[in-house]
Structure 1
Amino acid sequence: MHWKYPLSALAISVLLVGCNQSDNAHKATSNETMETTEETIIKDELNRDVTIPLNPDRVVVGGILPYFSTWYIATNSTKEIVGMHPNSYNAASHSILKDISPDVLKADTSFIQNGEVNIEELMKVNPEVYFEIASDEKSINKLEEAGVPTVALKATTDSDDPLEILNRWLTLTGEITGTTDRPDQIIQEGKKNQQEINEKLANVQKEDMPKVMILQYHNDKEISVAGSNMHGNRWIKATGGIDVAEKDIQGIKAVNMEQIYNWDPEIIYITNFTETQPIDLINNTISGQDWSQIKAVKNKQVYKVPLGIYRWYPPNGDAPLMLKWMAQHNHPEIFDYNMTEEIQNYYAKFYNYEVTEDQVKDILNPSSEAAKY
């Protein structure tokens, strides 16, 4: 290119400086835009600021086992979940979520070895964000040292509201992904169900409430019961029951049959964290344990907690249904709705999925395999 008139050195200098300033300003603007659109800073439940990609598409879920189901109900997707704990994966593989969102079964589990996160294996799945239970400081520190953005979530609460933890997780997930409509709708559904239950239980006297026990872990060598400050305690209180273990046990504790004879629960709920089924107690087939004299067993009021998109006992997407299910077992004379219809309507509304009656049976009667990992 030839200039028609020669430029002075000064004019050329001014021209170049102007161009450089313009380029630098453009670069600065571009960088600011990139940071604004591609990254976000969120405050996790340890009150730490964590910088993560906005709308991350490579999510790993570690020891905060139920969280993958929260991600699903908040986003309507599991394709972002590239890794999860083997225990979570086993629950997912025996859940209806594998049918609704098959991508969940593509998640890698090899980064958890001997119950701990293996950073070398984790890096192979290239995580953009890792979700971990807040109480696992060892894993959180290890992940931070490796430069993996880690969001700590608490699985505890001081509230008696069994939905409080799920609602927190949903709200945080909405902040991370920018999807607030679905979380808000499910939070409102849970509040509505609880309010309806409260209204129907308003005139029920304490002496008319069933004595309830949560069998957390169980086999022929262990009987562990959940008491106060546990999910089960909150579910029982929210659905009109009396937790027989509340005064004697904080958290989870191994007990003997003598203690259970003393409590003599009228209803027993068995979690999805043990392979034991109601029939095992009802038929009294557990070696070294005699359940036959327990009131709940005599009356065959022993129930396995359902497993829908995840186990219904801890925080999970089906939590509003858990309220209805337990309320009906605690007070069948008051809550006369059809749980099959309740599940079908809920899944159609929130998951856009038509559940068959056979699938409902599987949800309400989870296999022992689902507890293995």
Structure 2
Amino acid sequence: MKTKNLLAATALTVLLAGCSSDDKATPKQETTKEAKTTVEEQVVTDQIGREVTLPKEIDSVVVGGILPYYSTWYVATNSTKEIVGMHPNSYNAAENSILAKISPDILRADTSFVKNGEVNIEELMKINPQVYIEHANDEATIDKVTEAGIPVVGIQAIDAAAAEPLATFNSWLELTSQMTGTVERANRFLAEGKKVQAQLDEKLKPLAEKDKPRAMVLFMHDDKTITVTGRNFFGNQWLNATGAVDVAEKDIQGKKEVNLEQIYAWNPDIIYITNFTQTQPQDLLEGKVEGQDWSQIKAVQDGKVYKIPLGIYRWSPPNGDAPLMLKWMAQQNHPQLFDYKMEDEITTYYKDFYEYDLAADDVQDILHPSSAAAK
């Protein structure tokens, strides 16, 4: 699929079980180049170049290890009733998100088809999906589900070549529009993302490199492990797009476990914490992590440790709130340049784009997500 100049988005073994930094694997099975269809069928080309025959009308979808994808379906279609199954990690994020209020059908999705981290075909067949969406790198699952007779659409977790953080989500959105025939909301999102990035670029362009904060994205964390992200990952794209320097960019590709001494050496001005970990800013700011002394790091000393918000999905990987993520992170990086009120930006976006009136408490829940969303 071709995505040009679409605005600039996250993982994992836990993130996208699937946002790994290397998405070049191609499943073993081959598909017929000249697929035959009936009037009730369509052929789409997935993101690993496979032609997949699907029903014209899709009303039952299961989302596997490509964790954020269910939110893409919602953005494209304004519906989640078609999501009949999803990975337990996706369900946990959905359950703790505003999407559970906006489109409560998402909470009806079955999670029993994932057993011990793997797809159980017998349980999957009970759900009877018309299409299974999977991370392009998970060759074993794609093969197994395809052999069971269920069409599988492979999705790439990240466009590593893209400088813009929205490129990946835009590509998912375009593919979903092809599958569903829904284009209006997708086109609106693409236009909004492009507009927001252009607004940011105009204000950030005059900045010299020395005027940009040095930032780090803490991806996974507990008292035993510290995992950060670097180049070819969403955190790096977000930072570059919002006027920051990624301290891990030169040393890390994708995501990697590091020790605290490495973070001392980087000494970031700002630390962003994703929603793939239960760690909250207060845990670092107040020295609550046993065996770890974060007090020597400039970001902690200055109180610039932020939990990345969670709206219809976690804001760190591809998601429908991406224009808001751009605004939010740009404001943390350069509050003197971006003086809008994020509460108002979020409320307006949800009203205009999702046609949903957020309560004040809803907005605060988005901006300050609980640790439960990462369990």
Q: State the TM-score, normalizing by the size of structure 2.
A: 0.89
| 1:117 and 2:119 aligned | yes
Cα shift readout 1:330-373 (whole Å, capped 9, x = no counterpart): 0000001111111111111111100111101000111101001x
State the match for 2:105 in structure 1. Answer: 103
State the match for 2:61 in structure 1. Answer: 59
Q: CA deviation at 1:35?
A: 5.2
- Give secondary structure in 1 for the equivalent of 2:256: strand
Question: Structure 2 matches for 1:127-138, cutoff 5 A?
Answer: 127-138=129-140
Instruction: State which of 357, 363, 367 in structure 2 corresponds to 1:364.
Output: 367
State the match for 1:84 in structure 2. Answer: 86
State the match for 2:353 in structure 1. Answer: 350
Contact 2:37 2:53 in 1 (8 A): no
Question: Structure 2 matches for 1:232-251, cutoff 5 A?
Answer: 232-251=235-254
State the match for 2:18 in structure 1. Answer: none
Distance in structure 2 (CA, Å) of the matches to 1:357 and 1:204: 34
Instruction: State which of 41, 44, 48 in structure 2 corresponds to 1:42.
Output: 44
State the match for 1:201 in structure 2. Answer: 204
Equivalent pairs, count: 339
- Give secondary structure in 1 for the equivalent of 2:215: strand
- Give secondary structure in 2 for the equivalent of 1:362: helix
- Give secondary structure in 2 for the equivalent of 1:124: helix
Distance in structure 2 (CA, Å) of the matches to 1:93 and 1:54: 30
- Give secondary structure in 2 for the equivalent of 1:162: coil
- Give secondary structure in 2 for the equivalent of 1:79: coil
State the match for 1:324 in structure 2. Answer: 327
Question: Structure 2 matches for 1:1-373, cutoff 5 A?
Answer: 37-157=39-159, 158-372=161-375
The amino acid across from 1:70 in the alignment is T
> Can you give the 5+ residue segments of structure 1 that lack an aligned partner in the other structure?
1-33
Distance in structure 1 (CA, Å) of the matches to 2:334 and 2:325: 14
Distance in structure 1 (CA, Å) of the matches to 2:133 and 2:101: 24
Distance in structure 2 (CA, Å) of the matches to 1:82 and 1:324: 33
Cα shift readout 1:235-282 (whole Å, capped 9, x = no counterpart): 000000000000011111111111111100000000000000000000
Relative CO higher for 1 or 2, CA cutoff 8 Å, sep ≥ 6?
2
Cα shift readout 1:174-202 (whole Å, capped 9, x = no counterpart): 11100011101101100100000000001
Q: State the TM-score, normalizing by the size of structure 1.
A: 0.90
Cα shift readout 1:277-315 (whole Å, capped 9, x = no counterpart): 000000011111100111100111000010000000000
- Give secondary structure in 2 for the equivalent of 1:347: helix
Computing the radius of gyration over CA atoms, which structure comes out larger, 1 or 2?
Answer: 1
Distance in structure 2 (CA, Å) of the matches to 1:82 and 1:134: 21
> Can you give the 5+ residue segments of structure 2 that lack an aligned partner in the other structure?
1-35
The amino acid across from 2:222 in the alignment is N
Looking at secondary structure, tell me which structure has more helix per residue.
1
Q: CA deviation at 1:37?
A: 4.0
Distance in structure 1 (CA, Å) of the matches to 2:224 and 2:199: 41
- Give secondary structure in 1 for the equivalent of 2:127: coil
